[in-house]
Amino acid sequence: MNKKIKINDRTNNINGTSLVGYVKATYEELVEAFGEPDYDMDKSTAHWSIQAPNGTVATVYDYKNYSIPTGEYAWHVGGHTVAALLLVEFMTGKQTIGHETRTWNPYGGGRD
Protein backbone atom coordinates (compact mmCIF):
# COMPACT_ATOMS: atom_id res chain seq x y z
CA MET A 1 0.00 0.00 0.00
CA ASN A 2 1.29 3.47 -0.93
CA LYS A 3 1.50 5.71 2.16
CA LYS A 4 2.40 8.92 0.33
CA ILE A 5 0.31 12.04 -0.02
CA LYS A 6 -0.79 12.15 -3.64
CA ILE A 7 -0.88 15.49 -5.43
CA ASN A 8 -2.62 16.02 -8.77
CA ASP A 9 -2.98 12.27 -9.15
CA ARG A 10 -5.82 11.37 -11.50
CA THR A 11 -6.93 8.71 -8.98
CA ASN A 12 -7.58 11.31 -6.22
CA ASN A 13 -11.24 11.06 -5.25
CA ILE A 14 -12.24 14.70 -5.77
CA ASN A 15 -15.74 13.94 -7.05
CA GLY A 16 -18.33 15.56 -4.81
CA THR A 17 -15.95 17.95 -3.06
CA SER A 18 -17.23 21.41 -2.22
CA LEU A 19 -15.94 24.61 -0.66
CA VAL A 20 -14.96 24.18 3.01
CA GLY A 21 -12.73 27.24 3.45
CA TYR A 22 -9.78 29.27 2.25
CA VAL A 23 -6.02 29.51 2.58
CA LYS A 24 -4.27 32.86 2.12
CA ALA A 25 -1.10 32.26 0.16
CA THR A 26 0.77 33.31 -2.93
CA TYR A 27 0.90 31.18 -6.03
CA GLU A 28 4.62 30.63 -5.41
CA GLU A 29 3.96 29.34 -1.88
CA LEU A 30 1.44 26.82 -3.22
CA VAL A 31 3.83 25.66 -5.95
CA GLU A 32 6.46 25.16 -3.25
CA ALA A 33 4.04 23.07 -1.16
CA PHE A 34 2.27 21.13 -3.93
CA GLY A 35 4.31 21.42 -7.11
CA GLU A 36 2.95 22.70 -10.41
CA PRO A 37 -0.85 22.94 -10.59
CA ASP A 38 -3.25 21.27 -12.95
CA TYR A 39 -4.25 24.03 -15.38
CA ASP A 40 -6.98 22.15 -17.23
CA MET A 41 -9.92 22.85 -14.92
CA ASP A 42 -13.28 24.52 -15.38
CA LYS A 43 -13.66 27.96 -13.73
CA SER A 44 -10.12 28.11 -12.32
CA THR A 45 -6.72 28.99 -13.72
CA ALA A 46 -4.75 26.82 -11.27
CA HIS A 47 -5.92 23.78 -9.32
CA TRP A 48 -4.33 21.19 -7.04
CA SER A 49 -5.86 17.98 -5.73
CA ILE A 50 -4.36 16.41 -2.63
CA GLN A 51 -5.17 13.03 -1.09
CA ALA A 52 -3.75 11.86 2.23
CA PRO A 53 -3.08 8.17 3.00
CA ASN A 54 -6.14 8.14 5.31
CA GLY A 55 -8.39 9.13 2.38
CA THR A 56 -8.82 12.81 3.26
CA VAL A 57 -9.08 14.82 0.05
CA ALA A 58 -8.54 18.54 -0.52
CA THR A 59 -8.63 20.73 -3.58
CA VAL A 60 -6.98 24.15 -3.72
CA TYR A 61 -7.97 26.49 -6.52
CA ASP A 62 -8.72 30.02 -7.59
CA TYR A 63 -12.24 30.68 -8.78
CA LYS A 64 -13.37 32.60 -11.84
CA ASN A 65 -10.19 34.58 -12.38
CA TYR A 66 -8.87 35.52 -15.80
CA SER A 67 -5.28 34.80 -14.79
CA ILE A 68 -3.41 33.12 -11.95
CA PRO A 69 -3.34 35.39 -8.88
CA THR A 70 0.25 36.45 -8.22
CA GLY A 71 0.05 38.22 -4.85
CA GLU A 72 -1.44 36.89 -1.64
CA TYR A 73 -4.87 35.49 -2.47
CA ALA A 74 -7.57 33.67 -0.54
CA TRP A 75 -7.40 30.38 -2.46
CA HIS A 76 -10.49 28.19 -2.22
CA VAL A 77 -10.17 24.89 -0.38
CA GLY A 78 -12.60 22.14 -1.26
CA GLY A 79 -13.14 18.77 0.33
CA HIS A 80 -15.62 16.16 1.44
CA THR A 81 -15.26 17.35 5.05
CA VAL A 82 -13.55 20.18 6.92
CA ALA A 83 -10.62 17.79 7.46
CA ALA A 84 -9.51 19.09 4.05
CA LEU A 85 -8.55 22.34 5.80
CA LEU A 86 -6.28 20.43 8.18
CA LEU A 87 -4.61 18.66 5.27
CA VAL A 88 -3.92 21.99 3.54
CA GLU A 89 -2.57 23.46 6.80
CA PHE A 90 -0.26 20.46 7.18
CA MET A 91 1.03 20.77 3.64
CA THR A 92 1.45 24.57 3.50
CA GLY A 93 2.17 25.50 7.12
CA LYS A 94 -0.47 28.22 6.75
CA GLN A 95 -3.60 28.59 8.84
CA THR A 96 -6.81 28.09 6.91
CA ILE A 97 -10.06 29.99 7.26
CA GLY A 98 -13.44 28.25 7.44
CA HIS A 99 -15.85 29.49 4.81
CA GLU A 100 -18.57 30.06 7.42
CA THR A 101 -17.26 32.95 9.49
CA ARG A 102 -20.54 34.12 11.01
CA THR A 103 -21.40 32.93 14.49
CA TRP A 104 -24.23 30.67 15.51
CA ASN A 105 -27.33 32.48 16.78
CA PRO A 106 -28.52 30.67 19.94
CA TYR A 107 -31.92 32.36 19.78
CA GLY A 108 -32.93 31.29 16.32
CA GLY A 109 -30.70 28.32 15.65
CA GLY A 110 -29.63 30.04 12.45
CA ARG A 111 -26.81 32.40 11.64
CA ASP A 112 -26.29 36.02 12.74
- Kindly state the average pLDDT of the residues 75-96: 93
Q: Give the mean pLDDT of 6-10.
A: 91
Task: Let me know if residue 88 belongs to a domain.
Answer: yes
In order, the DSSP letters of 1-36 are ---SPEES-TTS--TT-EEEEEEEE-HHHHHHHH-S
- For residue 80, pLDDT beyond 50: yes
Residue 104 has pLDDT above 60, yes or no: no
Q: Does residue 9 form part of some domain?
A: no
Q: Is residue 108 part of a domain?
A: no
28 pLDDT exceeds 90? yes
* Residue 79 covered by a domain: yes
Instruction: Report pLDDT for 19.
Output: 93
8 in a domain, yes or no? no
When pLDDT is averaged across residues 47-56 and rounded to a whole number, the result is 93
Domain span including residue 79: 16-98
Q: How many CA atoms lie within 13 A of 69 on its CB side?
A: 20
Residue 3 has pLDDT above 90, yes or no: no
Please tell me the total count of domains within the chain: 1
106 is a domain residue:
no
The burial class, CB within 10 Å (0-12 / 13-18 / 19+), for 64 is exposed
Residue 1 lies in a domain: no
Residue 91 falls within a domain, yes or no? Answer: yes
